[in-house]
């Protein structure tokens, strides 16, 4: 088997999702994932530090995408509009991945350690968003509150999107959730 494997990362990720879904996360080894993908364990570890990373390696791309969207929003944009731009960018990134996102969510929902890791991911995204807003000149606590509001919308909206009944577009769900949050905080 050559060193270069076409789309090894994607094949490993797909095999991992299948096995996590069939056997559970704890009952699956990196060697089994590699075997299912028709690759060696060594190839697995060239792409992922461990099996958990298969579920979280996209986090840093997502964080970069959110931060870039906030930083490049028009100077005149209010903090919440910069956050809305970040949510729109995230929605565009996820829009063709509903089935994969559903599988991932089901795997995470079945495992307490993975749920903790997911919470840490969300907290890190909130901190990154707050930092991006501060770079635009937004003061505290406005930057942190706007960032936490954005992540609340992301969390609640994403769960709605991957739910079995979810058939709406993610971008629409985020816009709708922001509208609901506005209505909630206005007390109406």
- Contact positions toward a second copy, by CB under 8 A? 78-81, 116, 119-120, 123, 141-142, 144-146, 148-149, 152-153, 155-157, 160, 177-178, 180-188
Nearer to a second copy, 37 or 79 (CB): 79
Cβ neighbours for 90, distance < 8 A, ≥ 6 positions apart: 62, 65, 66, 154, 170, 174
Write down the least CB distance from residue 133 to a second copy, Å: 10
d(CA 30, CA 90): 29
Write down the least CB distance from residue 20 to a second copy, Å: 21
Nearer to a second copy, 12 or 79 (CB): 79
Write down the least CB distance from residue 142 to a second copy, Å: 6
Residue the block writes with tokens 């919308």? 153
Nearer to a second copy, 18 or 176 (CB): 176
**For the chain, where are the alpha helices, taking DSSP H only?**
8-23, 30-36, 41-47, 53-56, 59-71, 79-94, 98-109, 112-135, 142-162, 170-186
Nearer to a second copy, 44 or 174 (CB): 174
Write down the least CB distance from residue 41 to a second copy, Å: 28
d(CA 161, CA 98): 8
What distance, in Å, lies between the first and last C-alpha atoms of the chain?
63
d(CA 130, CA 170): 23
Write down the least CB distance from residue 110 to a second copy, Å: 17
Nearer to a second copy, 33 or 108 (CB): 108
């Amino acid at each position: 088997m050559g060193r270069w494997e076409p789309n090894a990362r994607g094949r490993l990720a797909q095999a991992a999702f299948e096995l996590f879904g069939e056997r559970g996360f704890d009952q699956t080894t990196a060697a089994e994932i590699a075997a299912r993908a028709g690759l060696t364990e060594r190839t697995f570890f060239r792409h992922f530090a461990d099996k958990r990373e298969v579920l979280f390696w996209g986090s840093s791309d997502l964080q970069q995408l959110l931060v870039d969207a906030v930083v490049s929003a028009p100077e005149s944009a209010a903090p919440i509009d910069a956050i809305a731009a970040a949510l729109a960018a995230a929605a565009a990134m996820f829009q063709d991945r509903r089935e994969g996102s559903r599988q991932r969510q089901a795997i995470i929902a079945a495992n307490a350690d993975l749920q903790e890791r997911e919470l840490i991911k969300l907290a890190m995204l909130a901190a990154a968003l707050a930092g991006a807003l501060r770079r635009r000149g937004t003061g505290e606590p406005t930057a942190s509150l706007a960032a936490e509001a954005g992540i609340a919308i992301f969390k609640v909206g994403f769960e709605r999107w991957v739910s079995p009944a979810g058939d709406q577009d993610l971008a629409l769900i985020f816009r709708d959730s922001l509208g609901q949050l506005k209505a909630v905080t206005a007390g109406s």
